[in-house]
Amino acid sequence: MADSLPTEFDVVIIGTGLPESILAAASSRSGQRVLHVDSRSYYGGNWASFSFSGLLSWLKEYQENCVDGEESTAAWQGLIHETEEAITLRKKDETIQHVEVFCYASQDLDDSVEEVGALQKNPCSVASSTLTETLDSACLGEDEHLVHVPSYERPAQDTSKSDGEISLDVNDVKEPPEKGNDGGDRARAHAVSDADKDENKPAGEGNTDQPTRNRITYSQIVKEGRRFNIDLVSKLLYSQGLLIDLLIKSNVSRYAEFKNVTRILAFWEGKVEQVPCSRADVFNSKELTMVEKRMLMKFLTFCVDYEQHPDEYEAFKQCSFSEYLKTKKLTPNLQHFVLHSIAMTSESSCTTIDGLKATKNFLQCLGRFGNTPFLFPLYGQGEIPQCFCRMCAVFGGIYCLRHKVHCLIVDKESGRCKAVIDHFGQRINAKYFIVEDSYLSEETCAHVQYKQISRAVLITDQSILKTDSDQQISVLIVPPVEAGTCAVRVIELCSSTMTCMKDTYLVHLTCSSSKTAREDLESVVKKLFTPYAETEVDKEALEKPRLLWALYFNMRDSSGISRSSYNGLPSNVYVCSGPDSGLGSEHAVKQAETLFHEIFPSEEFCPPPPNPEDIVFDGDDRQPEAPGTNKTIMAEPESSEESKTLESPGKLLQN
């Protein structure tokens, strides 16, 4: 398919991150001819999710420093005419840095470990020991074990399900044509009901004095690697946020399923506590006195319609939100809860107005789908870009993974981009071009100042706050210890989210970078967790979850960069940024909608799809409808199976 692509499109999109995928869906839905390509072997870019071994293969790809050979340059330069010039694209992705991997669980080196679910290697990948050398150079303690990444192969068959594991009904979706990450074809699996929450409860949970824990080895993690869906970027969906509204409006929500985040946590006086959110939670809380409950409810009631009472905050507009909270006669722990767990803002940089807006947004999102403001997609955040890619494919978009684009061809006279040249030497013409930031060359980005995100991914053996149920999805903000540093956001996922194996938890840590990821996040990891080896000798540490495996890395944050920062960008080339450090995906949705209206000002952004009975396939003998009836959408026969899925109702996101 790749070497016989059509040569004329309306829109060519390079990169399959969330904003690019939303733009692809919106463009295809409005009747544009869309070609959506990615040089990677998986969907999502830095928004992707991986199985455990797939993640290690992804890390190895980055460390192998994959670069095209010089012989390909002369081949495509001959396709450029005298009246044209080329803007070369970057040959390798440099958005990930400072990768460090640690394994604390027992290695079980005598066991024969079969790793499953690895990514297919890119054509440009070459054998290298760079990852091993890089990780060997990391500073490790005596009890820390280093993970060496071996070669991986796809299994002949999937691993069998554990007892009590939720049975999945997988629907085989033909489009988009390729799925690099494991979650791709599972977006329409059966919903996970709350009744299943207690099936995987570990034995002995009621005995808190001497907790019973299953011994989990590295071999088990590898063998159950397909149970993991590890997000590169850790985010949640606000239940009244832009992304949820877009999913519902466009009916893309039918392609994915979601679970409620079950609790909001706070780190107060050296321990983790649950923050009451709803009115019922406040009055049922055992951590608050009756006076504190009344004070908190009074303040939260004010925040819901604070604009109606300007006299309450006008004098404090120039103050920080933390200073304003002190004037409201809230106790120190209530101030901490509001600032870090409800408003989720910075103690020093957040103004009073911004803090009140964030608190109001939090409160308005309560109750729509559950007792917290947040949802999490089953199988990981990487499902969301793929859902929009499916919508694009349904309406005729063409997808090609592992498809490199060498350059943009610009007409010297008009200054507009006319075409791209791919790695097959094919020239593909289009009216508009959308490029993800990581594909732009160093010359184009010479004056761009990027921020960085510090990320950590942990696998642990129990929750950071134990309760009767072991199936909790938790959000925790750990405030900074030193002035000038950022708070660390912790999202803990249980096995019912389909992101980790039974009896483990997947923990994501995120903050804006000031140093390397390990330097930024390791202090928080030590506060909340105990390395597996230390629990062998330190019985007091048994109260903390045991850390089995850890990954640290820095990711580029290209959000907030103005178009003028890029050098020599043609007027019909638009740039999408990668993930930002925020909790939600509001920036990606806003960016996609803004760019869409710049390109197609008269078109509606992601309108609802037509009713199934209004879809007519080529070759149907149906008589045309009478004038004045609804317009029909012409679809190709190949899309019939996918189009029929429009009849199935969306799950959870129904108003």
- Name the residue among 460, 521, 458, 449 with its Cα closest to residue 485: 521
User: Quick check: helix, strand or coil at residue 321?
Assistant: helix
Highest mean pLDDT among 12-21, 79-88, 164-173: 12-21
| Contact by Cβ (8 Å): 528, 563 | no
Q: What local confidence, expressed as pLDDT, does residue 541 receive?
A: 55
DSSP state of 320: B
What was the pLDDT predicted at 515?
A: 92
Is the pTM higher than 0.75? The answer reads yes
- Answer whether residue 231 shows pLDDT above 80: yes
Confidence of residue 626 (pLDDT cuts 50, 70, 90): very low
If pLDDT is split at 50, 70 and 90, which confidence band does 109 have?
low
- Give percent of the chain with pLDDT exceeding 70: 74
- Which of the four pLDDT bands, split at 50, 70 and 90, describes residue 115? low
Q: Say how far residue 14 (Cα) sits from the centre of its chain.
A: 18
Q: How confident is the model at residue 177 (pLDDT cuts 50, 70, 90)?
A: very low
Identify whether the C-beta of residue 498 lies closer than 8 Å to the C-beta of residue 226: no
Q: What is the secondary structure of 206-273 as a DSSP string?
A: T--SS-------HHHHHHTGGG--EESS---EETTSHHHHHHHHHTGGGG--EEE--EEEEEETTEEE
Segment 276-301 shows an average pLDDT of: 86
pLDDT band at 163 (very low <50, low <70, confident <90, very high): very low
- pLDDT at residue 636 is higher than 50: no
Query: How many helices (H) and strands (E) in the chain?
Result: 15, 26
Return the H-helix or E-strand segment holding 555: strand 546-557
Count CA atoms within 13 Å of residue 219 on its CB side: 9
Burial of 213 (0-12, 13-18, 19+ CB in 10 A): middle
pLDDT attached to residue 536: 56
Which is it for strands 633-635 and 546-557: parallel, antiparallel or unpaired? unpaired
Provide the token pair at 313.
């905050």
- Mean pLDDT, all residues of the chain: 79
The first and second tokens of residue 436, run together, are 């993800």
| pLDDT score at 317 | 87
Q: What local confidence, expressed as pLDDT, does residue 3 receive?
A: 55
pLDDT beyond 70 at 368? yes
Check pLDDT > 90 for residue 242: yes
Evaluate whether 90 touches 439 at the Cβ level (below 8 Å).
yes
| Model pLDDT, residue 481 | 80
What span, in angstroms and rounded, lies between the C-alpha atoms of 356 and 313? 9
pLDDT for the residue 62: 78
**Residue type at 237 in one-letter notation:** L
Residues 219-255 as b/e (b if ≥16 CB within 10 A, e otherwise) read: bbbbbbbbbbbbbbbbbbbbbbbbbbebbeebbbbbb
Compute CA distances 157 → 41, 152, 226, whole Å. Answer: 20, 14, 11
Q: How confident is the model at residue 284 (pLDDT cuts 50, 70, 90)?
A: confident
pLDDT at position 432: 97
* Ramachandran class of 98: left when φ > 0, alpha when ψ lies in -120 to 50, beta otherwise: left
pLDDT, one tens digit per residue, over 546-600 is 999 999 999 999 998 999 999 999 999 999 999 999 999 999 999 999 999 999 9
pLDDT number for residue 570? 95
pLDDT given for residue 452 in this prediction: 96
Q: What is the pLDDT of residues 379-423, one digit of tens each?
A: 999 999 999 999 999 999 999 999 999 999 999 999 999 999 998
pLDDT band at 535 (very low <50, low <70, confident <90, very high): low
Kindly tell me if the per-residue pLDDT of 142 is higher than 70.
no
Q: Say what the pLDDT of residue 543 is.
A: 80
pLDDT at residue 174, rounded to an integer:
33
What is the structure's pLDDT at 609? Answer: 80
Range name among 25-39, 260-274, 545-559, 634-648 with the lowest pLDDT average: 634-648
Higher pLDDT among residues 175 and 487, named by residue: 487
- Looking at per-residue pLDDT, the higher value among 198 and 269 belongs to 269
**Stronger pLDDT, 467 or 527, i.e. the higher one:** 527
Which pLDDT belongs to residue 278? 77
d(CA 550, CA 416): 47
Which residue from 466, 405, 537 is spatially nearest to 209, judged by alpha carbons? 466
pLDDT reported for residue 348: 75
| Residue 616 banded pLDDT, cuts 50, 70, 90 | low
Q: Which of 32-46, 70-84, 194-208 has the lowest mean pLDDT?
A: 194-208
Do 239 and 655 meet the contact criterion of CB atoms below 8 Å apart?
Answer: no
Question: What's the pLDDT at 469?
Answer: 84
Pairwise CA distance, residues 371 & 251, whole Å: 24
Measured between alpha carbons, how far is 152 from 114 in angstroms, rounded to an integer? 8
Statement: residue 27 has pLDDT above 90: yes
Predicted confidence at residue 627, as pLDDT, reads 44
Return phi, psi of residue 356, to 5°: -65, -40
Q: What is the pLDDT of residues 463-513, one digit of tens each?
A: 999 888 889 999 999 998 877 788 999 999 999 999 999 999 999 999 999
SS (H, E, C) 5-67: CCCECCEEEECCCHHHHHHHHHHHHCCCCEEEECCCCCCCHHHCEECHHHHHHHHHHHHCCCC
**What pLDDT does 276 receive?**
87
Tell me which residue of 230, 224, 215 sits closest to 104, measured CA to CA. 215
- Cα distances (angstroms) measured from residue 335 to each of 267, 294, 350, 486: 13, 14, 14, 18
